[in-house]
Amino acid sequence: MNPLSPKIYQKLIQTCKYFFIKNPIIVFEKLFLDFKENIAHLNHFGKPFNMTNFTFKIWVINEFHNAARNTLLFHTSSMIRKIHRCDAKELYLSHQEISLNEFIFLSPNIKIISLNCTPVKNEDGTILPLEKLVTYLPNAINIRL
């Protein structure tokens, strides 16, 4: 139920469909959330698909982008509940509001991060200061705010 690596999991489900039926996880190397509501792309140029009826869990292993220019469009928060695991090394969020728990879930392996008009909020609704935000990014080498 908790595969150790994406390569092992993909080989496992390729050898036997039973494992995918029991634990439906789709591995995304790069996940791009588009400007349109609930539309996502794989590897930036892949065929878009609708996230509304997407029943599988998602495992992001390299990049996670949300390029929404309007917070009324695609909320990253609604996407996070569909993510099984996030091992992304690059995180790009634009015009979002995310909670500290969501940020902690997305950021353990982040090396490059860009938060454009994206405040990270504490449970009480206050914005997390930069000094505390950086403590949750132990592997970061490039931080853009």
Selected residue with higher pLDDT from 94 and 128: 128
Per-residue pLDDT tens over the stretch 53-70: 777 888 889 988 886 655
Contacts of 64 (CB under 8 A, 6+ apart): 30, 31, 86, 88, 90, 91, 92, 106
Domain segments of the chain as ranges: 26-144
In whole angstroms, what is the distance from residue 67 CA to residue 43 CA? 14
**Tokens read off for 66:** 């949300």
Selected residue with higher pLDDT from 133 and 46: 133
Per-residue pLDDT tens over the stretch 81-123: 888 888 999 999 888 888 999 999 999 999 999 998 889 999 9
- Evaluate whether 94 touches 117 at the Cβ level (below 8 Å): yes
CA atoms within 13 A on the CB side of 51: 25
Task: Give me the chain's average pLDDT, please.
Answer: 82
What is the reported pTM? 0.80
